Amino acid sequence: MVDVLAQIKIACPRNRVAEYAANPDNAPEWYVNIQSAEWRTQKPLAIGSQIAFKAQFLGRELAYVYEIVEHRVN
């Protein structure tokens, strides 16, 4: 079992950071292990959206799909 914790302080308004981080298209830019994010459903992000990710972790290639089950916009 592997536990991963990452923290960083970002000098931007919280809503701007949340908007950027919640957009799957940006994941390969800010998360070094993610190589690609491919939408399996239509944009924009909503309940039921599916995004396929490819990543590298501990020397292995991972492929997985996220399905959005809850989405709140504040």
Phi-psi region of 57 (alpha: psi -120 to 50; beta: other; left: phi over 0): beta
Helices (H), the chain: 14-21, 27-30
pLDDT band at 12 (very low <50, low <70, confident <90, very high): very high
Q: What is the pLDDT of residues 36-67, one digit of tens each?
A: 999 999 999 999 999 999 999 999 999 999 99
Q: What is the pLDDT of residues 16-26, one digit of tens each?
A: 998 898 999 99
Spans of all domains in the chain: 14-67
Q: pTM (2 decimals)?
A: 0.79
Q: d(Cα 65, Cα 51) in Å, to the nearest integer?
A: 5
User: Tell me, what's the pLDDT at 74?
Assistant: 67
Please state whether the peptide bond connecting residue 13 to the residue before it is cis, i.e. omega within 30 degrees of 0.
no
Tell me what percent of the chain is helix, strand and coil, each rounded to the nearest 5. Answer: 20, 30, 50
Structure tokens at 38: 């491919």
